[in-house]
Amino acid sequence: MRTFHATTEAVLIADEKGNFVTRRVPEIEVELAGIPGDRHYGLLVPADSRQSIYERGTMIANRRQISIISVEECEEIAQGMGIEAIEPEWLGANLLVSGIQGLTLLPVGTRLVFPDGTGLICEGENEPCVLPGKKIAAAISDESLAKKFVPNAKRKRGIVCSIEREGIIRAGDEIRIIRP
Amino acid sequence: MRTFHATTEAVLIADEKGNFVTRRVPEIEVELAGIPGDRHYGLLVPADSRQSIYERGTMIANRRQISIISVEECEEIAQGMGIEAIEPEWLGANLLVSGIQGLTLLPVGTRLVFPDGTGLICEGENEPCVLPGKKIAAAISDESLAKKFVPNAKRKRGIVCSIEREGIIRAGDEIRIIRP
């Protein structure tokens, strides 16, 4: 096990019906099923193209309740797309963290522990889909950006996590990251 | 992703209060929380020495609902201990499988899918503790065996799994194993 540290720069929730975009809040509550009120809340979720070993729509354990991106990787994506910055809201991220290189490459099973004892389990790379590209293109009013997100975000779009220990995550929280 | 196959040789349940030893049954039902009636059933479980990043007794997500061992690795453990055979009951295993080399070394996140669509997620090695050694020593009436289990079972004692897709697992089922 190797332990290192990162900082929670922002905490966000996707609580607008039909919209994956998140908004900043001072803190989020996390339960075993995720963040109450967030679009990814739930113990079970219908399988989609990411879980191709199951028939589409089959109810399976939800291991994608919380998505995390890093300041460092967002800077790299922005640079690759030729834009100034990427806002975590546009990616539907729940946590924006800083102080960690290669967040997206953390192995499955890595633990993220917060000051009040809240614990998340890394479930692996959040593989980029086309929606954030469309959101970025709309936000910057440049249609050509829509297709630039996926190729520039591979292995940089952060991770998805499930919840191991329930609690509260606050903006500013230090994170202890424990690699298996 | 690499896919290969194994066979379910036996299906077992630990449904005697206060006893980790399992008994063979024709089939087990698996829910998100585990096998109803089994001692490891539950969505939450108190953290023990295996989850040392949490204070002992803290309620955390249960990722050790189902334990799986292999015929091949049990033969190796038995050989190392100088005994004829190891019964899956003595290890408290829920599934005994065959046809796979290095079951214990399967990476976290490996999926095991059964004929009716039931899916398990490998949560990693089931690190050997002293209880099976005591059980083996009692079963074979040789006290000297008690301490021989842990050193001989390291990296051979099988894996623990959580449930991704609920269903039924039956003795004789073929298993599709999908490595990340």
Q: Hey, how many other C-beta atoms are within 10 angstroms of the C-beta on A84?
A: 9
Q: What is the pLDDT of residues A39-92, one digit of tens each?
A: 999 999 999 988 889 999 999 999 999 999 999 999 999 999 999 999 999 999
As given in the structure block, the two tokens for residue A168 are 């509260």
Return d(Cα A68, Cα A30) in angstroms, integer.
Answer: 14
* pLDDT recorded at residue B116: 97
Fold of B2-179: M1 Pyruvate Kinase; Domain 3 (2.40.33)
Question: How far is the C-alpha of A30 from the C-alpha of A65, rounded, in Å?
Answer: 9
Furthest-apart CA atoms within chain A: distance in Å: 45
Residue A180, pLDDT score: 84
Q: Report the relative pairing of strands A119-125 and B174-179 from DSSP bridges.
A: unpaired
Distance of CA B147 to the CA centre of its chain: 20
**Can you tell me which residue has the tokens 């509260």?**
A168
Please check the confidence at residue A32 and state whether its pLDDT lies above 90. Answer: yes
Residue labelled with tokens 């967040």: A103
Which structure tokens are listed for B158?
């099988």
Distance from CA of A45 to the nearest CA of B (A): 10
Chain A residues close to B59, C-beta within 8 Å: 165-166
Contacts B127 to A, Cβ<8 Å: none
**Pair A132, A148: CB distance under 8 Å:** no
Min distance A177 CA to chain B CA atoms (Å): 11
Question: What CA–CA distance (Å, rounded) separates A101 from A105?
Answer: 9
Which residues in chain B are contacts of A108 at CB distance < 8 A?
Answer: 107-109, 180
Tokens of B141: 């009436």
pLDDT at A111 over 90: yes
Nearest CA in chain A to B63: A164
Collapsing DSSP states into helix, strand and coil, what is residue B118?
Answer: coil
**How confident is the model at residue B128, as a pLDDT?**
86
Helix or strand (DSSP H, E) at B26: none
Q: Contacts of residue A175 in chain B, CB cutoff 8 Å?
A: none
Task: Report residues of chain B scoring pLDDT below 50.
Answer: none
Whether residue A128 is predicted with pLDDT greater than 90 in this model: the reply is no
Q: Shortest Cα distance from A162 to chain B (angstroms)? A: 9
Contact A121 B44 (CB under 8 A): no
Please report which confidence band the pLDDT of residue A27 belongs to, taking 50, 70 and 90 as the band edges: very high
Residue in B59, B111, B43, B72 with CA at minimum distance from that of residue A117: B59
Q: Which pLDDT does position A38 carry in this prediction? A: 97
Task: Categorize the per-residue pLDDT at A5 as very low, low, confident or very high, splitting at 50, 70 and 90.
Answer: very high
Calculate how close chain B gets to A157, using CA atoms only, in Å: 19
pLDDT band for A25, please (50, 70, 90 cuts).
very high
**What is residue A126's predicted lDDT score, i.e. its pLDDT?**
94
CA dihedral B37, B39, B45, B48 (to 10 degrees): 180
Phi first, then psi, for residue A90 (nearest 5°) are -65, -25
Chain B residues bordering chain A (beta-carbon distance below 8 Å): 32, 43-44, 53-55, 58-61, 63, 107-109, 111, 113, 117, 119, 121, 123-124, 162-166, 176, 178, 180
Q: Hey, what's the torsion of the CAs at B131, B133, B139, B141, to 10 degrees? A: -130
Per CB-CB distance under 8 Å, the chain A contacts of B108 are 107-109, 180
Beta-carbon contacts below 8 Å between A and B: 67
Contacts of B160 in chain A (CB under 8 A): none
What's the pLDDT at A49?
A: 86
Q: Tell me the pLDDT band of A120, cut-offs 50, 70 and 90.
A: very high
Residue B59, pLDDT score: 97
Burial grade of A50 (CB within 10 A; 0-12, 13-18, 19 or more): exposed
Across A151-161, average pLDDT? 96
- Tally the residues of chain A: 180
CB atoms within 10 A of CB A38: 22
Which residue in B32, B44, B124 is closest to A109 by CB distance? B124
Report chain A residues touching chain B, CB-CB < 8 A: 32, 43-44, 53-55, 58-61, 63, 107-109, 111, 113, 117, 119, 121, 123-124, 162-166, 176, 178, 180
Which among B120, B104, B138 has a CA at the least distance from the CA of B19? B138
Helix (H, G, I), strand (E, B) or coil at A59: strand
Chain B residue closest to A176 (CA)? B53
